[in-house]
Structure 1
Amino acid sequence: MILPNNDFKSIADYFKKSKENTDRTVNDRTCIDLDFHDFFNSVDYTQSKPGQQCLYARLRNLGNGLLGVDSSEQLIHFLQENHEALNRVKKNLNRLNSHDAYYINSLFQDEPLAKPKWLWLMPILSFTSLALSVLSFFQFIFLVPLILLVVVNLLIHYWNKKNVYVYINGISQLLELIRCAKLLDKEDLPQLPGIGDDIKLLQTLKWQFAFFKIESKFQSDFTMLLWGVFELIKIIGLLEPLLFYKTIGSISNKRSAIKRVFQYVGELDVMVSTIRLRENLPFYCLPKINDENQFEGFEVYHPLIEKCVTNSFSLSNKSMLLTGSNMSGKTSFIRMVGLNAIAAFALNTCFASKFTLPILSIFSAIRMSDDLLNDKSYYFEEVLTIKHLLDMSKQKPCLLLLDEVFKGTNTIERIAIAKSVLSDLAHKTNFVLAATHDIELTELLSHQYDLFHFCEQVNNRDVDFDYRLKEGALKQTNAIRILEANAYPASVVSEARVIANKLQLQNN
């Protein structure tokens, strides 16, 4: 199921605000190219909103989880062997499944709210209002200043409401986070860092949180009479602004503890999600990370394609150049490898029987279009995107995924530029997977690239794709035959053949 855009905005919020982004962060361009949101939906089995946010951050910040690979696998193995403990963990994580739990991260990631300079005046107004309220029972004359003061307090109270509404969802759910973490900590799960001290520190805030928990209940389950009485008491005593700024101050002093508890719960949920993911896959493997500049996969499949045809490949110190017609499987293959690499680094899980690769940063140039709002043509968008890949390829080992580079320009210059760019990208520490229709590139790049292709069979009016990766360059093209199979006019097909043969002779 595709989540609505506003949900993805909430899910991505923790990642986007994180200052822990690594040099292996998957950028927005690559996410678009690899259908990242669909991929996220397919691997997301989390029970909680913090778990969703941590899973998203893991998939974008490769190799930046709370636990190392070995510790994560030990915890996963423990939970798989202890079903009762796993079910209790799931039940406790589910306490944080409310949409409001998406706002917990704002309590430790957003800049603390600045206190108004006249905050010192609030206790005086509060005390005076309460005193006048008591005195007015004995002398009605005190009602006049009380009413005037209540008007002042009313203005302050509703001026502060906008601040309360920003924080109330996160504050009310923070109480649930503490309770959830406390229950999970009692499970004494292996490999997870202890957070007992952080929980004790945050529990000192429980009475303050309880006040805002009541406020959030009134918002969701409106009871006019009770709400009116409660609101009047808060206005007379300025209780809400006073307690709000005290709570915000306390939270600000404990941001590090909140963050550690959030990550503890979220990362544990990622482990639980990984267990469920693996259970629902037709088969999977744990990736092997090597230092030998070898990249290979056996029986690899695309996680978003049902009944996907598996393919195998092996690269050693050379990149891959793919040829084939449209719809033959080139682009899907490139995306498949990219998503498997992300899953390998983020979840230690691959959609394959074997997957081996070195530590790589992942970049792509697959799905590009005109940017009319910023006055960029298709070609100029290609120029900027691939320039970024050239820059990144010099800074760190990369997996670079490219499809039909520079197709926004003429044939001669496209082939010339594509050859020079692909040669520059394919130096020792990088692996490039590039798809092209330009057969000329197979000869120009054969010393740097292993050649592979996809092909199809044209029978009468049927075009059959087997989606099998084959070694070597594409020997036979079928574009004109496909026109013929689809009942194009004979004159069109005949002229196309004559021109193609003439151009082929000129090239030879």
Structure 2
Amino acid sequence: MTESIFIALIVLGVIVVCFVISYIDNMWRIYKIKRRLEYNYGRWREVDYSDAVLSVIGEYTAAKDSMIDDITWNDLDMDALFMSIDHTWSFAGEDYLYYLLHVPKVMPEEWEEQEEMITYYQEHEKERIEMQMEFARIGKNHASSVYSYIMDCIRFNTKVPPVHYFSFVFFIFSVVITVISPSEGLGLLILAMVVNVLLYFYKRKELEGSMQALQYFKKLMEGAKSLTKKKLICNPKYHSRVEKDYRHLKKLMGASAYLGPANWDSPSIAEMFLDYIRLVTHIDCIFFYHCMSRLGRNIDIVENMFTTMGFLESMLAVGSLREALPVWCRPEFTDEKMLRIIDAYHPGLKEPVPNSVSVKDGILITGSNASGKSTFLKTIAMNVILAQSLHTCPAKAYCGKWFHVFSSMALKDSLYKGESYYIAEIRALKRVMEPVEEEAVICFVDEVLRGTNTVERIAASTQVLKEFQKKGILCFAATHDIELTYLLEEQYDNYHFQEQVADGEIIFDYLIYDGRATSRNAIQLLEILGYEPEIINGAKAMVEQFLSTGKWN
């Protein structure tokens, strides 16, 4: 008896030590996450997600109606911008922030309450960190889209396969027999465990992605419960919405407790023990189907839970973005078709040069190679998108109409399989005209129709840009064809970038000026890079003759 008590005390001591170690480990992880939250807030992130990860993040957006198409998104390198401002800690917040950048059309009345939330969490650090901690507990899953898996699975057959019930009953039966008659039941218990484990691994593969998605959704619900219980949501409307959705779905929580953690990178000792129970009973597989059945009956509420929780965290990310920007402003919107921006800059550049512009009828931008035309177009386009999606502009002031944003700037032949650059380009320009009747459009075109010969390029560009103006499209177009500035001077305002040559170097100030460009630097660049004098002099002579006679010799 004494020996039995001694062994029991040892076992109890080991269990206590294990739980203490697990508790300390958990506290240490929470401390490290909190330190990361405090350090990263208001800083420009330096991450580089693979295309596969970005594809997973984008699946929520792909299921919705997007205003920013792939051409514009790629032209502006919006993936790089997203990664730099992605101060989210949960899959829901990350997915929704990505979605917001694709749908820059939040209504002004909605932004009033959203502005209150952004400002509140900027000013209340304690509450913001607590809220971020709850989202960090939810976590991210870059292996697969939680949203897509959940939405797909709840439409499938949620009936539990008989094999899982068989495994559960077989194990319980063998345990009962072992208790009644250990000598006869032990062999049956071992057989039940071996069979159940083999069946578990065989059938679990079919559910791997779906079950992990459900585990993450369980964590999302736990996060929603914590946010409302701790009263961390400062806006009463959103607090009530989250609380209501959680109440509708809380029955899911009882069954989902059997599923285990969503992330096994560092499971607790208790979870590792429970995992062995799942192996021999299949209880997680059984309750997976029950959970999916409940979700299927509440699909609208499931959607609301994703959207609301994602939105709340994305507002925290907007606050972090504002802290990271050296200069920013809240945009003003008007019903007049115009755009006025003061000291706009590209947020992704280390030493950006601010520029200002006020446009009502569209502009043509000329200038030498590398003078800043393309960067200017991207800067303005990015300001428009950020103004309409995150209500935050990297500029001193912004005022404009709500626009549908298009671009044609960095096309590749591969964008359209089997088609040339020129075909891809004219298709890209054609798409700009299609939605004009429904809403105001702003477009950004770099080197209009560069994929064809000079004569036809000038003729076609003139007519296309005139058509843009007729349809009310506010167009920013950069070109090397100075002829366009004369052919379109009644429809478009002329602006240019310029340079200076000093000590054998071309120096750019990257500032935009009124009027058309009067300088060229292509031949100067050849000279600076050491081309033979014969080439330089011959090229200069040909240019002079063409400018005086209008003919090439």
TM-score (norm: length of structure 2): 0.81
Aligned-residue offset at 1:48: 2.8
1:77 has 2:119 as partner: yes
User: CA 1:218–1:205 in 2, change beyond 3 Å: closer, same or farther?
Assistant: farther
8 Å CA contact 1:103, 1:169 repeated in 2: no
Report what 1:462 is aligned to: 505
For residues 7 and 307 of structure 1, what CA distance do their matches in structure 2 show? 29
- Is residue 2:260 matched to residue 1:260? no
Residue 267 of structure 1: how far off its partner (Å): 1.3
Q: Which piece of structure 1 moves more, 133-142 or 487-496?
A: 133-142
* 8 A contact 1:168–1:216 mirrored in 2: no
Residue 498 of structure 2 contacts residue 509 of structure 2 at CA under 8 Å; is this kept in 1? yes
Equivalent position to 2:234, from 169, 189, 192: 189
Task: Name 2:148's counterpart in structure 1.
Answer: 106
1:380 to 399, 423, 429: 423
* 1:496 paired residue among 518, 525, 539: 539
- Cα distance per residue 1:234-289 (max 9 Å; x no partner): 2xxx5343222112212222332233222222211121111121122111111111
How far apart are 1:72 and its partner, in Å?
A: 0.7
Relative distance call for 1:232 and 1:82 in structure 2 (3 A) is closer
| Equivalent residue runs for 1:45-64 within 5 Å | 45-64=87-106
Written as runs of structure 1 = structure 2, the 5 A alignment for 1:155-194 is 157-185=200-228, 186-190=231-235, 192-193=237-238, 194=240
Q: Which runs of 5 or more structure 2 residues have no equivalent in the other structure?
A: 1-45
Take 1:244 and 1:347, find their aligned partners in 2: how far apart are those partners? Answer: 37
Given that 2:57 and 2:145 are in contact with CA atoms closer than 8 Å, whether structure 1 keeps it comes out as no
CA RMSD of aligned residues (A): 3.2
Q: After superposing the two structures, state which structure 1 stretch, 327-336 or 372-381, moved more.
A: 372-381
TM superposition shift of 1:341: 0.5
Opposite residue 57 of structure 2, the aligned amino acid is I
Contact 2:261 2:271 in 1 (8 A): no
Pair 239,462 (structure 1): closer, same or farther in 2 beyond 3 Å = same
The equivalent of 2:351 in structure 1 is 307
Cα distance in 1 for partners of 2:333, 2:312 equals 23
Are residue 17 (structure 1) and residue 60 (structure 2) matched?
no
2:396 partner letter: S
Q: Within 5 Å, which residues of 2 pair with 1:401-480?
A: 401-427=444-470, 429-480=472-523
Match in the other structure for 1:209:
256
In the other structure, the counterpart of 1:390 is 433
* Letter of the structure 1 residue corresponding to residue 244 of structure 2: D
Is contact 2:197–2:280 with CA below 8 Å preserved after alignment?
A: no
8 Å contact kept, 1:101–1:169: no
Residues 110 and 288 of structure 1: is their aligned pair in 2 closer, same or farther, counting only changes over 3 Å? same
Evaluate the alpha carbon distance shift between residue 191 and residue 74 of structure 1 in structure 2; reply closer, same or farther with a 3 A threshold: farther
Q: Distance in 2 between matches of 1:140 and 1:479?
A: 94
Provide the C-alpha distance between the structure 2 equivalents of 1:97 and 1:245, rounded to a whole number of angstroms.
Answer: 23
State the partner residue of 1:331: 374
Q: Which moved more, 1:130-139 or 1:334-343?
A: 130-139
Cα gap change, 1:506 to 1:41, in 2 (>3 Å): same
Q: Secondary structure at the residue paired with 2:507?
A: strand
Which of 294, 316, 325 is matched with 2:338 structurally?
294
Q: Is the 8 A contact 2:362 2:493 kept in 1?
A: yes
Structure 1 position 371, deviation (Å): 2.3
8 Å contact 1:301–1:311 — kept in the other structure?
A: yes
- Show the counterpart of 1:42: 84
One-letter amino acid of the structure 2 residue matched with residue 93 of structure 1: F
Taking a change above 3 Å as real, the CA distance of residues 167 and 65 of structure 1, as seen in their structure-2 partners, is: farther
Return 378-387 or 339-348, whichever deviates more. Answer: 378-387
Shift of residue 113, structure 1, vs aligned partner = 5.4
Counterpart of 2:56, as a letter, is: S
Whether 1:233 and 2:276 are equivalent positions in the alignment is: no
Instruction: Indicate conservation of the 8 Å contact 2:104/2:388, yes or no.
Output: yes
Q: Which residue number corresponds to residue 7 of structure 1?
A: 53
Q: Distance in 2 between matches of 1:40 and 1:149?
A: 51
Deviation, 1:412, is 0.4
Identity %: 27
Q: Does 1:281 align with 2:328?
A: no
Question: How many angstroms does 1:427 deviate by?
Answer: 2.9
Cα gap change, 1:299/1:191 in structure 2, threshold over 3 Å: closer, same or farther? farther
Cα 1:387–1:372 change in 2 (3 A) is closer
Counterpart of 1:371 in 2: which secondary structure? Answer: helix
Write the deviation string for residues 368-419 of structure 1: whole angstroms up to 9, x where unpaired: 1222992222222212222222323454321111111221111101111111
Partner of 2:511: helix, strand, or coil?
coil
User: Which residue number in structure 2 is paired with residue 352 of structure 1?
Assistant: 395
Rounded Cα–Cα distance in structure 2 between residues aligned with 1:370 and 1:169: 39
Q: 2:528 aligns with which of 475, 485, 505?
A: 485
Distance 1:396 1:182, change over 3 A: same
